[in-house]
Amino acid sequence: MSNSPSSSPPRSPSPDSAALPTPDSSRPPSPLLRPLQPSSRLGSSHGLPNKPPHPLSNAISGASMTFTAMSNSARKKRAGALPSPPESASTSRPSSPKPATSDDESEAGSEKGTATSVPRPGALRRTSSVAMEPFITKFDPFHPTEYVVDPKSGTRSPARLEKVAIVGSGSWGTALARVAAINVANREGFDPEIPGQGLLTEIINNTHQHERYLPSVELPENLVAVPKLKDVVRGATLLLIVVPHQFLPDVLAELSEPGVISSKARAISAIKGVDVRIRGENDADIYTFPQAIEEALGIPCSALGGANIALDVGKGEFCETTIGVPSAKDAALWHAVFDSPAFRVHPIEDVAGVSLSGALKNVVAMAAGFVDGMGLGGNTKAAILRIGLLEMSTFTKEFFPESSPLTFSHHSAGMADLITTSFGGRNRKCAEAFIKSRKEYGGEGEGKTFEQLEKELLNGQKLQGIATAKEVFDFLKARNRLDGYPLFEKVYRISFEGLDPRKLFEDL
């Protein structure tokens, strides 16, 4: 998450890919850590294919811009040079269901030749340590299960292609778009193009940078910005939605219009927040955003979250993320889209836990920022993080009993994300500034509001923690459960009611 000015520092040269370590030597080097082979550059100076000269058909999108990406396999397919899968890769394991595609896609495939089923390759080594293996969902890595034979050349290519779309173009949406675009460009079975929407499209397409949010991070040339959301998701089978949660209702209203998205699509949410619905006194419900997306669009939705600062992910620094999935098929698909040695994906069957952790850690990070603003030390901050993690886990288990406490203790979406956000995130930063703006802590007058600080410090980004703190407080108050979550209550009262921040520690 960058707060850098619009003029970026000089770019440092990319490190020699041969000198970079690969965490798992049994896997090929990550596309994030190496350029494509020279034969596949097509004149690109950014290490990925140039935009193909034909209409968009697949999408990585944003609420304020859209991207397009072309995969190597799709380009080879058009050139009639896609090699056949090795016959020796067969196993006795039954094939997984066919990837979802639109009707027009199926018709296009049938015109190119005869469809044939082929055996799947054997299971690959999981992208996790031996210690982590017991705690992730077991799944067969994604591979195309049906191929089309070209009657003229005899070559085979995937009969059905997954189309990826990312709705969201802030720092996190752009970082994920970069990861996904590079993966799509190197994985068979994915349609090439990835779009996103907004006001910065011309600048991004000309400079291959999102200077506002990810300065000095070079975007592949197969990420192309386009202007309209409906163009982004047209024909997509895999939708990643990563907009500020304040904007989600409008996005879902547009996406839910008849014919905009395929009924066979799958979604994943990287949104940080909760959907609280107050119906009356002592009557309230709380929903995760995957639940809200499923309700609005009628498609299954996973959740992505972890210790992932957007700028660091954009630079290709090593990190992990957690994906909460409703099924092993979702695990295989989203793992294929995002996993690399530099961005390790751990799928788990806890959608609610991953989603709630991403929302509630922002409230705890605000408490950590209050501690920093008061000039207190590491002992105090560590205590706040421990208490905060306990309230996060307890809250999730109380109101989403199907969730697992292991999500908070064993996975990147839990403690790791809380640590990262509480030391380097925007919520901590603004909470510290909120305290320091007060006269008793060196500021002037009665201090600044969070609305003022958001405009001053976040370069157009949105502050998630303050909205989540209010929603959680309103929900707990309606359910008569404020006494069970004293840290959440104190964060709200300091932020909205002028409570002395030194009272943060009472009753903890």
Q: How are beta strands 156-158 and 114-117 bridged, if at all?
A: unpaired
Euclidean distance between CA atoms 447 and 438, whole angstroms:
4
Do residues 326 and 275 lie in contact, with contact meaning Cβ atoms separated by under 8 Å?
no
User: Which one, of 288, 296, 254, lies nearest residue 271 by Cα?
Assistant: 288
User: Which one, of 58, 61, 54, lies nearest residue 69 by Cα?
Assistant: 58
CA 408 to chain centre: 18
Do residues 3 and 455 lie in contact, with contact meaning Cβ atoms separated by under 8 Å?
no
Is residue 361 among the annotated active site residues? Answer: yes
Q: Which residue has the tokens 């695990």?
A: 331
Do residues 362 and 465 lie in contact, with contact meaning Cβ atoms separated by under 8 Å?
yes
> Could you give the residue ranges of the DSSP H alpha helices within 102-170?
103-112
Q: Where are the beta strands (DSSP E) in 99-210?
A: 114-117, 146-149, 156-158, 164-167
Euclidean distance between CA atoms 340 and 176, whole angstroms:
12
Euclidean distance between CA atoms 379 and 429, whole angstroms:
19
Instruction: Give the contacts of 28 (CB within 8 A, at least 6 positions apart).
Output: none
User: Which one, of 242, 235, 240, 241, lies nearest residue 260 by Cα?
Assistant: 235
- In degrees and rounded to multiples of 5, residue 422 shows phi and psi of -80, -5
Residues in the chain, overall count: 508
Do residues 284 and 474 lie in contact, with contact meaning Cβ atoms separated by under 8 Å?
yes
User: Which one, of 258, 206, 263, lies nearest residue 237 by Cα?
Assistant: 263
- The token pair at 142 is 């994604």
- The token pair at 277 is 């619905």
Half-sphere exposure of 4 (CA within 13 A, CB side): 17
How far are the Cα atoms of 91, 104, 144, 158, 195 from residue 108, in angstroms, in the given order? 30, 6, 16, 12, 21
- The token pair at 318 is 């090593």
Give CA torsion, residues 239, 245, 251, 255, to 10 deg: 40
51, 77, 361, 448: which one is catalytic? 361
CA 420 to chain centre: 16
DSSP letters, 338-384, are: H-BTTEEEEEES-HHHHHHHHHHHHHHHHHHHHHHHTT--HHHHHHH
Euclidean distance between CA atoms 53 and 169, whole angstroms:
24
Q: Which residue has the tokens 């943060």?
A: 504
Indicate which residues carry an active-site annotation. 361
